[in-house]
Structure 1
Amino acid sequence: MSFEEKPRRRKRKHTGRNTLLVILSLVVIAGLVAGGYVWNLGRSFDSKSEKIVDAFPAEETRPEVKEESKDALNILLLGSDTRAVRDEGDSEEFATLPSGGRSDTMMLVHVPSNRKSVYVTSIMRDTWLDIPGVGTAKINRAFASGGVPKAVETLEGLFGVRINHVASVDFEGFKGLTDAVGGVTINNPIAFSPVHAKGYFFPEGTQTLDGEEALVFVRERKAFTGAGGSDYRRVKNQQLFVKALLGQIMSKDTLSNPAKVSNVVNEMAPFIAVDESLNAGKIAEIASSMISVRPNDMEFFTLPNKGPGRSADGQSIVIPDMETIDKFGTALQNDTVDEFVASTDLSQ
């Protein structure tokens, strides 16, 4: 692994991550609370969502399942964008997902065996890792060389633990979902005018976004500058928005309204692709086991890294902190992620 490290950025606390699968689970819980809608919601989800065929690598390449973590759950969550156009002059690689679009966002959602918490690890798309059969490259290269199975193989090799499910979500779904809950109120920390969506302006401070505004807000990256600034800021804006969306979905106004719950599922399902085993029944099973989990029980952090740098061939990359990543992998294998989080400074 060869790269030139740039000075570390000042660490900043992340307060939320793009937890769309968790949102889906909570929507199913909402259906259980509403009563009478579970069957229809499940049928709607299964009929409108897509399937990722052959989402996993060959069995002989996969890690063994350890007894300590056999009941834990690891879900690879991917964010794609079918409508966005490649920025002018942007030579970054984007991977096409089964549902169409490009891999802009990647998270590992870990649910421990006791189902009392959720840990969401955001993986920057430019993270410089060893990709089986390819060599050292950006994690996003895994998609370009072998699709979802190669991405799963790469992360399973990195962490030494199996990924149980895969789901991809198209950002286009934000539009209908935001409107389905009556708009989402955010507190925007930095005012900006989107570069590729003329006529929009997001002032600093509290504001309520409708569906189209939400879509523009989570997509924008070129309005931000600085070393690694565009991607880091976009990720933070996506985190900020989805945390607010999660709060809106879990609000009494939504949970007590069966029609609104149904609208949420119907609006989101067409923009979701899942592995063949992750149907509405499995999501309901997962959600039921997590029924006591609330936002305060969720820990969010970025895969440990040393900030931006340059590879030997001049690519702009994110340098992984392999020492800390190895400790995280051991914690995943032993189902002790709670201890890892408690003993590790994960603020960035």
Structure 2
Amino acid sequence: MKPETEKRKKHVGRWISVGIVGVVVLALLAAIGWYFLRVNPSLQQVETIETAFPDESLRPTVAPVEGNANAPVNILLLGSDSRASDGSLLTGLGDRADTILVAHIPPDRETVQIMSIMRDSWVEIPGHPGLRKVNSALALGGVPLMVQTVEGIIDQRLDHVAVIDFEGFKDLTTALGGVTLQNDIAFSEGAFSYPAGQITVDGDEALAYVRARYPFSDGDYQRAHNQRALLRGAIEQLMTRENLTNPDRLATLFATISPHIATTDTFSLPVVYDLASQMAQLDSSRIQTFTMPTLGTGMEGSQSVVYVNWEGVEAIRTAFDEESMSGFAPAPER
């Protein structure tokens, strides 16, 4: 073969390779553009928590991260039982938020811990003498004081805050085609009956499940447990290959839940995508749910309160400080 012909063929081959790469890049850009066009209208429905964090001087220090290691991620989730009359999830939140959860994602991204904080937990509220119910932080100082209070409990910074209306649970379970969960105690609530064992709930049935507390002798304890069971089931369902590999499906699910949530601007879509990609291999069995350690209930004046087991909380703080929580075993509840 003549050198010129060989040179021409190499030149053409190189341009074909460049052309293929260009087509792939354009296709990816088009797909990303299409996806953001689908998701963007839903983003407009997500209410933003404008002021969520206390002054920097009142917060735990940021732990240094070495090399390419990940930092731990802590998310405060507040559940609201009803939307305010003005349509906002944040107006009057102190009177309506009765679910407090901390989702902890360790640096190794191999597990997730979801801890309930009982709303009647008897704790110190910064800036207010004595002890009060933890939920009173919202009424006394809004989301920033709740963040400061919870950061003091776990001795770590909260990176994101999200508020969800319980109606969002209802719509999400319907969009997922039902959520399968492990129900520990058989009970009835209104028109619905929930046998013990593995059950699948959706819509109004799911909403009644997370709201129920009067069927139980320990009231809020079991309700918090059931709420975590539903949340765990929803996470497991969301993380199926069918959902994670289908952008159209993800966009539809996001559109379903977005009218029912409010988040800090730190919890942006790129941040969520990046976190999801880091946790793509997470096995559902590695999602741990538990209640912040308590010593039971009692009376403080006319108030029924939950006493915190601070020795148990110290063990949680130590665990949250570790690179990995794969070997973590929460203490038995109640």
| CA deviation after TM superposition for structure 1 residue 47, in Å | 1.6
2:44 maps to amino acid? S
1:62 matches 2:59: yes
Trace 1:93-132 onto structure 2 (pairs within 5 A). 98=90, 102-132=96-126
| CA deviation after TM superposition for structure 1 residue 336, in Å | 4.8
Distance 2:292 2:74 in 1: 15
Trace 1:1-348 onto structure 2 (pairs within 5 A). 38-40=35-37, 42-67=39-64, 71-82=71-82, 98=90, 102-134=96-128, 135-194=130-189, 198-224=190-216, 226=217, 229-255=218-244, 258-311=247-300, 313-332=301-320, 334-336=321-323, 338=325, 342=328, 346-348=331-333
TM-score, normalization by structure 2: 0.78
Any unmatched runs of 5+ in structure 1?
1-31, 85-95
Matched position secondary structure for 2:219: helix
CA RMSD of aligned residues (A): 2.8
Matched position secondary structure for 2:188: coil
> In structure 2, do the counterparts of structure 1 residues 65 and 314 end up closer, same or farther at CA, with 3 Å as the change threshold?
same
| CA deviation after TM superposition for structure 1 residue 97, in Å | 5.3
Q: Which has the higher contact order (CA 8 A, sep 6+)?
A: 1
Matched position secondary structure for 1:268: helix
Distance 1:131 1:58 in 2: 15
Distance 2:163 2:192 in 1: 27
Distance 1:282 1:335 in 2: 22
Are the equivalent residues in 1 in contact too, given 2:290–2:330 (CA < 8 A)? Answer: no
Matched position secondary structure for 2:44: helix
Distance 2:181 2:288 in 1: 20
Distance 2:309 2:265 in 1: 33
Matched residues, percent identical?
Answer: 38
- Count matched residues: 294
TM-score, normalization by structure 1: 0.75
Counterpart in the other structure of 2:5: none
Any unmatched runs of 5+ in structure 2?
1-27
Are the equivalent residues in 2 in contact too, given 1:131–1:154 (CA < 8 A)? Answer: yes
Are the equivalent residues in 2 in contact too, given 1:172–1:271 (CA < 8 A)? Answer: yes
> In structure 2, do the counterparts of structure 1 residues 263 and 170 end up closer, same or farther at CA, with 3 Å as the change threshold?
same
In our comparison, the structure showing a higher alpha carbon Rg is 2
Are the equivalent residues in 2 in contact too, given 1:180–1:260 (CA < 8 A)? Answer: no
Are the equivalent residues in 1 in contact too, given 2:35–2:247 (CA < 8 A)? Answer: no
